[in-house]
Structure formats: structure tokens, C-alpha cells
């Protein structure tokens, strides 16, 4: 086991003018589960593949354990990777898939067998050890792919969107299993996903990437409660945080000439104000909120509407009565304020 330390890591692909990763500093503790999350093309995979040694590092330094690995081959880095398409060797049985990496490292036959038994028991893949990958379902392949990583007992696991090929239900299930597995094995893990829910639930620490740079790092709940920028605010949470161009004047939040909330400590001036849908309190009496449509989630409701010209999404419980004209109350303590130009938290 080992920690991973990235210092000013950059990556420019040959032939492209803009770097894919523009200088990332990240200190991953031993045993930590870190999730890299961000929109498509933000450089998550690139960063992970640089840690794995599958891409060269254009600038900066990557340390795994106490060794600088910049020029090391993937095999020498003592990491295991789970690929999005699983990358199981199609011509080998599950057992051979698991033992391939161990045999290449000249491990004793008895030790290989012992590890395979152990891994098969952990992942419940013992029943199909002799099958070829094509005779397995998507979920089973996924398990084998994880098994191939676990059996190696590496310093770190690297996952590149390992669940994105599964259907929603299985994804949820495997998400739970990965979490469970990590609690049991405590192997340093770096996990890439663009699914913010997956990111929130799995991560000890969440890294939000945007356009090749780290936008914010922290515990999932901290990021959720105190997003450092409008980007993070909009990215985490579903439905996303309501963001509005507004003005703070005399301790009140002014939107289109009407005061939305009062008693604020915020500095006067133009701001981007944000509020989570679940923080908005809706009442049935006619007021500032015009209801457009409602999405029923079963346990809760997502209410889409407008305050003046501003679109607003609220989440309510089933007890709240709905009508076309409602009153939305925005508690001052639940408001987030961001710089109107830079989008940084104020």
C-alpha cells in the first residue's frame, strides 16, 4: 500500500495545442478512496492514465509510495487498473485472466492458487473460474475485472469509469460492493467517473476537475455544502443548485427589483447567488413563485417554476400542497454567494 502524490502534473498530447491536463497538485493518502469527477473531456482519464504509466507525463512529478514513477513502466508501478470496457483477455478463462499478472511476476503456483481462491471468494466468482469472458454477463465481467486487480494486491487501484457499461440497477449494486470492498481492503484507490452521484457516494475525498485543472478538492459533503465556485455548485447535486444573477442591497437579495431574502451579512453589489432545490421552502399561498410543471420521484417532488424571469427548481415533500401561484421562501442561511464575474465563492 502507498500514497500517491502529484506535483504540477501537466499533459499535452502530441499534435494538440491545448494541454489536456494543465498542472494538477494532489496528495492522496495511503488507503484513501479519491474520486476524480468532472464533465466529459476535462482530463480525468488522462490524469489516471498518467498515474498508471499508460501516458507520458509532459511536466511535473508523480510519486507512488516513496518512488518517483515518471519514467517507470506501468508494470513497475505496482498499480492495478480496472478499465471501462473491462479489457479481459478474451482467449483466456477467468482463472487465467486472474493468474496472468501473477505468472508474469514469477509467483509460485501455490501462492497463485491461494490468491485466486481468496479473490474468488471475496467477489463470488468461484462458480465460473473456468469460463471464458464471452460466456459471462456484463456484471460478472465487471467482477472479474475487479478480481484481476484485487488478486495482484497492488499498492493502488485505478478505476476508469468501471460501472458505466452496466444498467442502472446493477450499477447501484456494484457501487455498493466497491464501497464495501474498499472498507475491507483499504487499498489506495483513484476512481474516475462523470456520474456525480457515484462520486459523492464512493469518495473519501472528491476532486472536481474542470478543463484540465482542479476546481475543488474535499470531502463530498464539504463540497456539497461549500462549493468553491459556481462550476462545482452546478456540478454536484441533482437537481443542480439554482444559480441566479442578483444583487445584494441593504442586506437583502434583490432579483428583478423584488427582495427575495433579507437580513443578509453579504457585501452589497452584484453577485451570483445560489440555493439548493431542497433548501427552498414552498407554500401554497399565492406569491412570487409561478409553477410550470412537477416531476414526481415517489418520495419527493421536483417542482419547476419561475420567480420573475428566473427559472427556479425546488424539491418538496409530498405534504406540501401545490398550486399555480405559490410563495417561495429562500432562507438566508442557505444562500451561497459567488463573484459575479469569476464565479468564485465569496
Partner 1 sequence: MLRAGLFPFPPFGFPMQTKRTTFRSYWLPYLLIAPQLAITLIFFIWPAGQAVWQSFLQEDAFGLSTKFVGLRNYVKLLNSPEYLASFETTVIFTVCTAGLSLGLALLFAVAVDRMIRTASAYTTFILWPYAVAPAIAGVLWWFMFNPSVGVLTYALQTMGYDWNHRLSGTDAMILVVLASSWKQISYNFLFFLAGLQSIPQSLREAAAIDGAGPVKRFFTVVFPLLSPTTFFLLVVNINYTMFDTFSTIDASTAGGPGQSTTILVYKVYEDGYKGLDLGSSAAQSVILMGIVMVLTFIQFRYIERRVQY
Ligand X SMILES: Nc1ncnc2c1ncn2[C@@H]1O[C@H](COP(=O)(O)OP(=O)(O)OP(=O)(O)O)[C@@H](O)[C@H]1O
Q: Of 164 and 201, which CB lies nearer to ligand X in the complex structure?
A: 164
> Residue 150 touches which of partner 1, Mg ion, ligand X, none (CB < 5 to 8 A by kind)?
none
Instruction: Show the site string, 242-281: x = touches Mg ion by CB under 5 A, - = not.
Output: ----------------------------------------
Contact segment (CB under 8 A) with partner 1 among 1-9, 34-42, 70-78, 224-232 equals 70-78
Under the binding rule (CB under 8 A), the answer on residue 109 touching partner 1 is: no
Under the binding rule (CB under 8 A), the answer on residue 100 touching partner 1 is: yes
Q: Of 45 and 99, which CB lies nearer to Mg ion in the complex structure?
A: 45
CB 199 within 8 Å of CB 14: no
Ordered strands of the 281-283 beta sheet = 281-283, 325-329, 289-296, 300-307, 310-317
> Residue 169 touches which of ligand X, Mg ion, partner 1, none (CB < 5 to 8 A by kind)?
none
> Residue 46 touches which of partner 1, Mg ion, ligand X, none (CB < 5 to 8 A by kind)?
ligand X
CB of 94 to partner 1, least distance (A): 12
Under the binding rule (CB under 5 A), the answer on residue 45 touching Mg ion is: yes
DSSP annotation of 344: B
d(CA 37, CA 119) in angstroms, rounded, equals 28
Under the binding rule (CB under 8 A), the answer on residue 71 touching partner 1 is: no
Nearest to 156 by CA among 187, 196, 125, 198: 187
- Sign of the alpha-carbon dihedral angle for 60, 65, 67, 72: negative
Q: Of 156 and 279, which CB lies nearer to partner 1 in the complex structure?
A: 156
Q: Of 50 and 150, which CB lies nearer to ligand X in the complex structure?
A: 50
Residues in CB range of 244: below 8 A, 6 or more apart: 255, 272, 273, 274, 310, 312
CB of 92 to Mg ion, least distance (A): 26
Under the binding rule (CB under 8 A), the answer on residue 91 touching partner 1 is: yes
Q: DSSP for 260-316?
A: EE-S--SPSEEEEEEE-GGG-EEESSSSSEEEEEEEE-SSEEEEEEEETTEEEEEEE
Count of residues in contact with partner 1, rule CB under 8 A: 28
CB of 156 to ligand X, least distance (A): 18
Nearest to 283 by CA among 334, 332, 335, 325: 325
Name the site residues for ligand X (rule: CB under 6 A).
13, 16, 20, 38, 40-46, 194
Which of 101, 234, 287, 332: binder of partner 1 (CB under 8 A)?
101
**Cell match 456484471: residue?**
139
What length does the chain have? 346
d(CA 6, CA 271) in angstroms, rounded, equals 34
Under the binding rule (CB under 8 A), the answer on residue 296 touching partner 1 is: no
Give the count of alpha carbons within 13 A of 227, CB side only.
Answer: 28
Which grid coordinates are listed for 99? 493468474
Contact segment (CB under 5 A) with Mg ion among 37-45, 219-227, 297-305, 328-336 equals 37-45
**Cell match 464539504: residue?**
222
Q: Is 342 exposed, middle or buried (0-12, 13-18, 19+ CB in 10 A)?
A: exposed
Contact segment (CB under 8 A) with partner 1 among 69-77, 117-125, 180-188, 257-265 equals 69-77
Under the binding rule (CB under 8 A), the answer on residue 72 touching partner 1 is: no
The site for partner 1 (CB under 8 A) is made up of: 14-15, 52-54, 73-75, 79-81, 83-85, 87-92, 100-101, 104-105, 132, 134, 148, 152
The site for Mg ion (CB under 5 A) is made up of: 45
Amino acid at each position: 500500500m502507498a500514497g500517491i502524490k502529484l506535483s504540477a502534473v501537466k499533459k499535452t498530447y502530441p499534435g494538440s495545442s491545448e494541454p489536456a491536463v494543465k498542472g494538477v497538485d494532489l496528495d492522496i493518502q495511503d488507503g484513501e478512496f479519491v474520486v476524480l469527477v468532472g464533465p466529459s473531456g476535462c482530463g480525468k482519464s488522462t490524469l489516471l492514465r498518467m498515474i498508471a504509466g499508460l501516458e507520458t507525463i509532459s511536466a511535473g512529478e508523480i510519486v507512488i509510495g516513496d518512488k518517483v514513477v515518471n519514467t517507470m513502466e506501468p508494470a513497475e508501478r505496482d498499480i492495478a487498473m480496472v478499465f471501462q470496457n473491462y479489457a479481459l483477455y478474451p482467449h483466456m478463462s477467468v482463472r487465467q485472466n486472474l493468474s496472468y499478472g501473477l505468472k508474469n511476476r514469477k509467483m509460485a503456483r501455490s501462492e497463485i492458487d491461494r490468491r485466486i481462491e481468496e479473490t474468488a471468494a471475496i467477489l463470488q466468482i468461484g462458480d465460473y473460474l473456468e469460463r471464458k469472458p464471452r460466456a459471462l454477463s456484463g456484471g460478472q465481467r465487471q467482477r472479474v475485472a475487479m478480481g484481476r486487480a484485487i488478486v495482484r494486491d497492488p499498492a493502488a487501484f485505478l478505476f476508469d469509469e468501471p460501472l458505466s457499461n452496466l444498467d442502472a440497477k446493477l450499477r447501484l449494486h456494484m457501487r455498493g460492493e466497491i464501497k464495501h470492498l474498499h472498507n475491507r481492503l483499504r487499498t489506495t484507490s483513484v476512481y474516475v467517473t462523470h456520474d456525480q452521484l457515484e462520486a459523492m457516494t464512493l469518495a473519501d475525498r472528491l476532486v472536481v476537475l474542470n478543463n484540465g485543472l482542479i476546481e475543488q478538492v474535499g470531502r463530498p459533503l464539504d463540497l456539497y455544502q461549500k462549493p468553491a465556485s459556481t462550476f462545482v455548485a452546478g456540478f454536484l447535486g441533482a437537481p443542480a443548485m439554482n444559480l441566479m444573477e442578483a444583487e445584494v442591497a441593504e442586506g437583502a437579495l434583490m432579483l428583478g427589483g423584488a427582495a427575495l431574502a433579507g437580513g443578509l451579512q453579504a457585501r452589497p453589489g452584484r453577485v451570483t447567488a445560489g440555493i439548493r432545490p431542497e433548501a427552498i421552502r414552498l407554500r401554497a399561498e399565492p406569491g412570487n413563485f409561478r409553477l410550470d410543471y412537477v416531476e414526481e420521484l415517489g418520495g419527493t417532488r421536483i417542482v419547476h417554476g419561475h420567480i420573475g424571469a428566473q427559472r427556479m427548481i425546488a424539491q418538496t415533500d409530498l405534504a406540501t400542497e401545490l398550486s399555480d401561484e405559490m410563495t417561495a421562501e429562500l432562507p438566508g442561511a442557505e444562500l451561497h454567494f459567488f463573484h459575479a464575474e469569476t464565479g468564485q465563492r465569496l
